Amino acid sequence: MAEFNVNKGIGKPAEFKGLQSQYLFIFAGGLLAVFVMFVILYMAGVNQWICILFGVGAATTLVWLTFTLNGKYGAHGLMKMQARMFHPRYLINRVRFCRLFTLKTQQP
């Protein structure tokens, strides 16, 4: 039986065949989704060759896209890209400029 190393050491991200951290989950979940879609199409009565072509095409696209994202963004790149979408483009401060530098006194 073949033996695969999944983790390279303590404190390093999980890596398998070049895929790092969250890309492993995207890859595994995507292949599972393609398989489920293949089964649903086949059970619905769609032609067998259409199901096979869909499965092979979708799986190939998923593998290519996952490895491309892994090479482009690295281990934490997708999280950084997602966090960048939630940052505001600019901040609005409607307080007068001189009020920014005055101390507030506490009212009883």
Q: Is residue 95 part of a domain?
A: no
**SS3 sequence of the chain:** CCCCCCCCCCCCCCEECCEECHHHHHHHHHHHHHHHHHHHHHHCCCCHHHHHHHHHHHHHHHHHHHHHHHHHHCCCHHHHHHHHHHCCCCCCCCCCHHHHHCCCCCCC
Lowest-confidence region among 14-23, 28-37, 58-67, 69-78 = 14-23
| pLDDT on residue 50 | 94
| pLDDT on residue 73 | 80
Range of the domain at 74: 15-86
pLDDT, tens digit, 9 for 90 and up, residues 4-40: 666 566 777 667 777 777 888 888 899 999 999 999 9
Number of structural domains in the chain: 1
Q: Is residue 107 part of a domain?
A: no
Global pTM reads 0.62
